[in-house]
């Protein structure tokens, strides 16, 4: 598929088929993503892919921590508030999903259920964790974001689905210990990856985008 079609048709997938993705395909996707630009070619990204019994055990651990009421301690703190325009877009998303699925994403019980779904990688056969050295400046978060986008687009071109996940970094310390990632690393993002189940209701809705004139200005 061409680049513009790939960008415009990619969507966050929250229901997957059980079929495993071949290791060579996963390697190819990460190799493609490694060509992402970065500040002075620092390439400040590292990748861990977890699958099979290891993934299931990680999911069980994360759900248990949530059920026990363990306070989240992500390496990158969750935002506490958003400016007006961004908050309005969040409100619109909440309302859209409430109408579609009858669930209120502002309800603490629903949020807990959403976290559990995240911790179980939405049933995907593989989970990806992106991380980097804690000593890196905040600018490097921008670079690893570029890497994440390239990864998801490469996966989409291969017929795979992905969803970027902040929730799976909630228990960063425990997750890093479980996966053997050094504490000196900053856990940035989780990504579920697998073959999408496009018949699932969760994948029937796509988010919209604001009109171009809200984000674009010309100066001459």
Q: Is residue 136 part of a domain?
A: yes
pLDDT at position 211 is 94
Residue 106 has pLDDT above 90, yes or no: no
C-alpha 30/C-alpha 45 separation (Å) is: 11
Each residue's pLDDT tens digit, 23-81? 999 999 999 999 999 999 999 999 999 999 999 999 999 999 999 999 999 999 988 88
Q: What is the CATH number of the domain that holds 181?
A: 3.40.109.10
Q: Is residue 166 part of a domain?
A: yes
Quote the longest CA-to-CA distance of the chain: 58
C-alpha 91/C-alpha 47 separation (Å) is: 33
Q: Which residues contact 75 (CB under 8 A, 6 or more apart)?
A: 134, 169, 172, 186, 187, 188
pLDDT at position 103 is 75
Residue 143 has pLDDT above 90, yes or no: yes
Q: What are phi and psi of 129, to 5 degrees?
A: -120, 130
pLDDT at position 80 is 86
Whether 1 and 189 have beta carbons less than 8 Å apart is answered as no
Which residues, listed in sequence order, are joined to residue 185 by a DSSP beta bridge?
133
Whether 203 and 14 have beta carbons less than 8 Å apart is answered as yes
DSSP letter at 196 equals: B
Q: Is residue 174 part of a domain?
A: yes
Q: Is residue 213 part of a domain?
A: no
Q: Is residue 100 part of a domain?
A: no
Helices (H), 15-83: 23-33, 52-67
Q: Report the domain count for the chain.
A: 1
Q: pLDDT > 70: what percent of the chain? A: 100
More confident residue, 99 or 182: 182
Q: Is residue 216 part of a domain?
A: no
C-alpha 206/C-alpha 203 separation (Å) is: 8
How many angstroms separate the first and last alpha carbons of the chain? Answer: 35
Give the mean model confidence (pLDDT) for residues 163-173.
96
User: Which residue range is the domain that position 135 belongs to?
Assistant: 12-76+113-205
């Amino acid at each position: 598929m061409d680049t513009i079609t790939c960008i415009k048709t990619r969507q966050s997938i929250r229901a997957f088929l059980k079929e495993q993705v071949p290791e060579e395909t996963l390697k190819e996707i990460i190799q493609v993503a490694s060509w992402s630009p970065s500040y002075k070619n620092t390439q400040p990204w590292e990748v861990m892919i977890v699958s099979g019994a290891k993934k299931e055990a990680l999911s069980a651990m994360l759900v248990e921590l949530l059920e026990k009421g363990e306070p989240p301690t992500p390496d990158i703190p969750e935002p506490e508030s958003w400016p007006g325009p961004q908050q309005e877009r969040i409100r619109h998303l909440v309302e859209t999903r409430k109408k579609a699925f009858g669930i209120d994403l502002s309800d603490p019980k629903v949020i807990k259920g959403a976290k559990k779904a995240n911790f179980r990688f939405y049933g995907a056969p593989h989970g990806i964790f992106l991380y980097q050295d804690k000593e890196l400046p905040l600018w490097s978060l921008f670079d690893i974001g570029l890497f994440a986008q390239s990864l998801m687009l490469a996966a989409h071109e291969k017929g795979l689905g992905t969803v970027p996940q902040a929730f799976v970094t909630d228990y960063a310390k425990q997750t890093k210990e479980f996966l053997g990632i050094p504490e000196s690393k900053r856990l940035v993002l989780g990504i579920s990856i697998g073959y999408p189940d496009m018949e699932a209701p969760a994948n029937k809705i796509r988010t919209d985008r604001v009109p171009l004139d809200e984000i674009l200005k010309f100066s001459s």
